[in-house]
C-alpha cells in the first residue's frame, strides 16, 4: 500500500512537471542544464572551497549575485552570514538580497530586475516549499533559466539544494520528515531529478531508494553536509568534505561519490575516480 501511494504521488508530479512551461528540451541534456553551472550543496558549514567555486563561476570580482532568502521563516536572519561573506569577497554593491512574498511580485518586471543582470544566484537554507510557492512558473523563474543560458551559476544549500531538482523532496508545509507532501514541484534546473541533503548527518542516505524504484526515469542525489555537486551539462563533479549518494535504476543499490569524482548524468556511470 505504501509503495502504491508513492507511485500515485510520483505519477501526478511527473504529469505536472511535463506541463511546466519552464521545462527544457530533454533531447539536449538528460538531467543537467544545457548551459551554465549548478552548485548543489548539502547544507552545513560552507567551506572556502565551495565559496571559491561559486564566486569563480559567477565571474569573480566582476560577479553580480542575488541571494534569495525565501526559505527562511519570519524572523530568521541566518541568511545574513551569506550576504556578509559574499560582500566581503566581491563588494557589497555586487550582492543583493531578494525575498519576494507573492506570485504577483515574482511576475513584476521591476522587482525581478536584479535577476536580469545577475551572473549568480544563491538560495539560502530553510524550507524549500517557501521558495516554490512564490517563484515557481513565474517570470522570476524564467529569468533564473535565462541566467543559466548566458553562462551564469545557480547555487543553493540545504533547502536551496532540494529546490534545484524537478521533484521537490521534503516539500510539505507540515514538516521536513514528510518526504512527499503538498509541494512536489521544484524549480527544475536539474531535470528528472530529486535531491536530498544532510544525508549522513541525519541518517537519510536510504530515503530516496523507494522513490527512484517507483519512478526509474528519475535520478536521486543525497548530499551530506559541507559537500556539493557541481553540474555542467550532463556531467557532475563532487566538491567538499563528505559524500554524495547517487540513486538510479542502473545501479543495484545506491553508490557514494566523494571529492574529485565525476559522474555522467546520461549514462549514469562514474567517469573518473580519485586515488584511495
How much is the pLDDT for 164? 98
Residue 28: per-residue pLDDT: 82
Q: What is the pLDDT of residue 18?
A: 47
State residue 240's pLDDT score. Answer: 98
pLDDT higher than 80, residue 7:
no
pLDDT one-digit tens code per residue, 242-263:
999 999 988 878 999 999 999 9
Q: What is the pLDDT of residue 1?
A: 42
Q: Residue 21: which pLDDT band, with cuts at 50, 70 and 90?
A: very low
Residue 201 has φ and ψ, to the nearest 5°, of -60, -35
Edge-to-edge strand order for the sheet containing 120-123? 95-98, 65-68, 120-123, 153-157, 37-41, 227-232, 235-240, 262-264, 269-272
Which pLDDT belongs to residue 259? 97
Whether the pLDDT of residue 71 is over 70: the answer is: yes
pLDDT, average across residues 207-233: 97
- Average pLDDT value for residue range 127-132: 98
Whether the predicted pLDDT of 9 surpasses 80: no
pLDDT tops 70 at residue 13: no
- Chain center to CA of 105: 22
**Residues 264-274 pLDDT 10s:** 999 999 986 55
Query: What per-residue confidence (pLDDT) applies to 4?
Result: 42
Which region among 26-35, 88-97, 218-227 has the lowest average model confidence (pLDDT)? 26-35
Average the pLDDT over 28-47 and give the result.
96
Residue 217: its pLDDT value, please?
94
- Percent of the chain past pLDDT 90, that is, above it, reads 85
The band of 74, judged by pLDDT with boundaries at 50, 70 and 90, is: confident
Domain limits, the chain: 2-272
The residue-averaged pLDDT of 49-76 equals 96
Residues 260-267: contacts with CB within 8 Å, 24+ apart? 261/237, 262/235, 262/236, 262/237, 262/238, 263/235, 263/236, 263/238, 264/234, 264/235, 265/29, 265/30, 265/31, 265/32, 265/219, 265/231, 265/234, 265/235, 265/236, 266/29, 266/30, 266/31, 266/234
Arch. (CATH architecture) of 2-272: 3-Layer(aba) Sandwich (3.40)
The helix (H) or strand (E) run that includes residue 161 is helix 159-162
Amino acid at each position: 500500500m505504501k509503495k502504491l501511494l508513492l507511485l500515485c504521488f510520483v505519477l501526478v508530479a511527473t504529469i505536472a512537471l511535463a506541463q511546466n512551461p519552464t521545462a527544457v528540451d530533454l533531447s539536449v541534456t538528460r538531467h543537467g542544464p544545457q548551459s551554465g553551472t549548478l552548485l548543489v550543496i548539502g547544507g552545513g558549514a560552507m567551506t572556502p572551497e565551495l565559496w571559491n567555486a561559486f564566486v569563480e563561476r559567477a565571474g569573480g570580482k566582476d560577479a553580480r549575485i542575488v541571494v534569495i532568502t525565501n526559505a527562511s521563516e519570519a524572523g530568521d536572519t541566518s541568511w545574513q552570514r551569506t550576504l556578509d561573506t559574499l560582500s566581503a569577497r566581491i563588494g557589497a554593491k555586487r550582492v543583493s538580497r531578494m525575498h519576494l512574498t507573492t506570485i504577483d511580485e515574482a511576475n513584476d518586471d521591476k522587482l525581478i530586475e536584479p535577476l536580469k543582470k545577475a551572473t549568480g544566484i544563491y538560495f539560502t537554507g530553510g524550507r524549500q516549499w517557501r521558495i516554490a510557492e512564490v517563484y515557481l512558473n513565474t517570470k522570476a523563474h524564467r529569468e533564473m533559466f535565462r541566467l543559466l543560458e548566458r553562462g551564469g551559476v545557480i547555487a543553493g544549500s540545504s533547502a536551496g539544494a532540494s529546490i534545484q531538482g524537478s521533484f521537490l523532496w521534503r516539500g510539505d508545509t507540515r514538516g521536513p520528515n514528510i518526504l512527499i507532501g503538498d509541494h512536489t514541484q521544484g524549480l527544475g534546473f536539474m531535470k528528472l531529478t530529486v535531491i536530498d541533503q544532510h544525508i549522513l548527518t541525519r541518517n537519510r542516505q536510504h530515503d530516496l531508494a523507494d522513490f527512484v524504484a517507483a519512478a526509474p526515469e528519475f535520478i536521486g542525489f543525497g548530499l551530506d553536509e559541507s559537500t556539493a555537486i557541481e553540474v555542467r551539462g550532463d556531467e557532475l563533479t563532487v566538491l567538499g568534505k563528505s559524500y554524495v549518494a547517487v540513486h538510479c535504476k542502473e545501479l543495484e543499490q545506491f553508490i557514494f561519490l566523494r571529492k574529485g569524482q565525476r559522474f555522467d548524468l546520461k549514462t549514469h556511470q562514474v567517469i573518473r575516480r580519485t586515488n584511495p
